[in-house]
A and B are shown apart, each in its own frame.
Chain A
């Protein structure tokens, strides 16, 4: 039996727009993934938790306009801990399409802007991790 995909979701910084991340969290759970919603945490705390919880995916949501800064900080922290390649990294939220390429260059594997259908996030994770869900 395949192991269930484990996803850690968080909201970095102080921006309190919580709807997006909660909605994605619910959708991934409904798709059979184990999601841990980690709330409003520092990048440092999130990386430690991701290692301890042995998750496959780290995802975060930004509405404040600080998406590039947060993506850089997350990747920097993962690199410092030497675990950059252990996780699939996702970012979502309200940011301009012209920043998608920069977010990928920084190291985000999946970039999901406004209007994303949650099914696309599920499909993306499954395809990249090559795992089959068991309910």
Chain B
């Protein structure tokens, strides 16, 4: 970003500085970023040589969006504080959500239990499922559960993220829409997001009885088609590509965004194949990224991701709607960076990671609670996690200027390096036929397994320092008292379902389930009939049972 004469002068001065530095030892022989990018001792204007400010960095709200997707960013509107929460029963989750609402949370995100995630009812005899009711999140097995979860909350004035995946996204989203309808609201008024990510279900977290990748892709696209292309819920984000969930496995920033872009492309191409135009849907695709340990690399990652999305749109799809070029994302601080040892240190880790997300220009943020490496968060821990964001918003002043790190020789150089590496990784997946093929062949499992094992080796050898685990260990540490979920949750949920089954029109449900079978066979969009089903009181297990029956369960190509 300097003219050539200046650069020559700087180069000479730099060489002199290097000579002067000889003989000064460093802590380590070499330094690398989390993604393995060599980190130099010093960054100077020489490292941003060739970067053209207007073309490569630009202004906020303008291509290539390195500095943010909106012209005013946080000076216009602060990011949404969106905590991921849910536990026990829908009623208990409702209490927690009301507490968070009082504490200043502005968006909600429903963590569901493993049964909801896998599309299983608590009264189904599947793998002793009842043990896990309400343990990892809120149980949402029917419209009754969703009703109880949002009772007395102003869903027309809040945005809710439903953290479910393609297997259950149609059912849970339609339950939510139907609850709104019961309250006299229209789907068009609702703001929110359904997670709906096929990679989460296949490599990030592998639920029982998952469907084949192509079937999951179909279901994910059904929801995008219904909400956006068909205009049923135009303010709803029908998917957010949740690279966070794969990142938690141990992959790096390059793989995270590379897999995320490849995943988005698979969905876009499927919708184009169905006959939609790019402008019919692409503006509502959103992302959910991780904020990990390497401070500057993560900030550069967000900047690079925005630029790459812009590039992908401009070079490949060319939408007319300017909104389509904006890469919008939610961030969650890295759960896997938290430790059960000295859990209070997690507050500090999370605060730094939250700062990354904010300096990186996220649209909404979840900060993890300090006790999450032990149990689901207690009320006290989650309040502190909300306060962490409020300190950033109200006390630090970091939200008063847009993209304050732009122009940093290091950040700009790293942004460029990440852009190149991410694009290369994304193309590698494209060349092997895209994410569905990379799943079918087991290649993506191989990537995850390698990442798991590399992290393990690095942490066990001490190469990757983890405070409280492999350094600064406290002997005889006092255990943190855990938050326990409702031990009666399974019983309560079974009773709820029994009551529902007794009260609903069973003939109607059975007729609609037959209709769903026909829709699945013809591979038509499942949303219209699933919406009728959930309104009629069909359960999650009944609906996903039809998918499994019609399409079969996927045998995962495990790579140990």
Contact = CB atoms under 8 A, between A and B. Distances in A.
Nearest to A45: B127
A42 B128 CA distance: 7
Interface string B149-164: 0000000000000000
Given A14-B208, A66-B132, A114-B374, A39 B558 contact: yes
B460 A16 contact: no
Contacts of A63: 136
A13 B132 contact: yes
Nearest to B113: A64
B128 A13 contact: yes
Interface string B110-125: 0001110110100000
Q: Is the interface of B mostly helix, strand, loop or mixed?
A: loop
A73 interface: yes
Contacts of B485: 65
Interface in B470-501: 479-482, 485
A26 B453 contact: yes
A35 B558 CA distance: 14
Contact of A27 (B118, B127, B132, B456): B456
Given A14-B208, A40-B208, A94 B129 contact: no
A43 B136 contact: no
A96 B340 CA distance: 8
Q: Is the interface of A mostly helix, strand, loop or mixed?
A: mixed
Contacts of B212: none
Interface in A1-53: 12-19, 22-23, 25-27, 29, 35, 37, 39-43
Nearest to A39: B558
Given A22-B452, A64-B135, A16 B375 contact: no
B11 interface: no
A80 to B, nearest CB: 15
B206 to A, nearest CB: 4
B206 A65 contact: no
B4 interface: no
B53 to A, nearest CB: 42
Interface string B352-376: 0000000000000000000001111
A70 B126 CA distance: 14
A17 B205 contact: yes
A27 B454 CA distance: 11
Nearest to B339: A115
A14 B132 contact: yes
Contacts of A41: 127
A26 to B, nearest CB: 5
Counting chain A CB atoms within 10 Å of each CB, the highest count among B131, B135, B452, B558 belongs to: B131
B63 interface: no
B449 interface: yes
B373 A94 contact: yes
A64 B453 contact: no
Nearest to A35: B560
Contacts of A132: none
B341 interface: yes
B469 A115 contact: yes
A13 B373 contact: no
A98 interface: yes
A69 B456 CA distance: 28
A38 to B, nearest CB: 10
Contacts of A18: 205-206
A86 interface: no
Contacts of A98: 479, 481-482
A83 B113 CA distance: 33
B374 A96 contact: yes
B114 A26 contact: no
A95 B482 CA distance: 9
A19 B250 contact: yes
Interface string A104-118: 000000000111011
A64 B127 contact: no
A25 to B, nearest CB: 6
Contacts of B234: none
Contacts of A43: 128
Counting chain B CB atoms within 10 Å of each CB, the highest count among A19, A25, A27, A73 belongs to: A19
Contacts of A113: 340
A26 B455 CA distance: 12
B249 interface: yes
A96 B375 contact: yes
Given A14-B114, A25-B560, A70 B207 contact: no
Contact of B132 (A19, A25, A64): A64
Contacts of B118: 14, 16
Contacts of A66: 131-132, 135
A65 B341 contact: no
A104 to B, nearest CB: 15
B132 A22 contact: no
A101 to B, nearest CB: 11
A23 B131 CA distance: 24
Nearest to B468: A115
A23 B374 contact: no
A10 B373 CA distance: 21
Listed from nearest, the 8 A-B pairs whose CB atoms lie closest are: A114-B340, A96-B482, A65-B135, A69-B131, A66-B131, A97-B479, A16-B205, A14-B114
Interface of A: 12-19, 22-23, 25-27, 29, 35, 37, 39-43, 63-66, 69-70, 73, 94-99, 113-115, 117-119
5 contacts: A15-B132, A19-B250, A64-B132, A65-B132, A115-B341
